[in-house]
Homo-oligomer: A and B are copies of this chain.
């Protein structure tokens, strides 16, 4: 299930409304990160359900904040709980799984954590996030899932930036990765899609 098939409604929307900023930044604020279009969100979420139809899933996992919207919609469609891994350890939580994620954008590490109550041995987890770039957040999620003794049934991303190679790493390890749109290059502030 890892051959790339572009999800045309998203590709079309990125072509129409996506903006490229200097430094390899793709701005999709108007329909993913800052404002969500409910029709597009629904169609993307249904596409994830279709692409992961052959695997067992009893839980959706995402990282707050911008993964929450697609994760919630996929969880709603599959009628399974949605767990938000948190970017800092809440004071009210004991018994956490914790991992460190290095952010190239911010040039520092941050903790990602999840209560042991909500990620457990035997869970079959679909990880959903908005972006796959260098894959560091995804690696953190793999670590959390391993710590819990759970299984990663799939990893679904709205947008992958293949030139940052996180997808290469995950596919080389045989993780079942599905990206709805893959950007091959943002050179010269031009959005070029992977074929």
Contacts and interface: CB of A to CB of B under 8 A. Distances in A.
Interface of A: 21, 25, 27, 29-30, 33-39, 41-42, 64-66, 68-69, 72-73, 75-76, 78-84, 86, 90, 92-93, 114-115, 117-118
Contacts of A30: 117-118
Contacts of A78: 38
A35 B93 contact: no
B118 A34 contact: yes
A118 B28 CA distance: 13
A25 B72 contact: no
A34 B68 contact: no
B86 A34 contact: yes
Nearest to A27: B92
A58 to B, nearest CB: 12
A56 to B, nearest CB: 17
Given A29-B93, A84-B65, A75 B34 contact: no
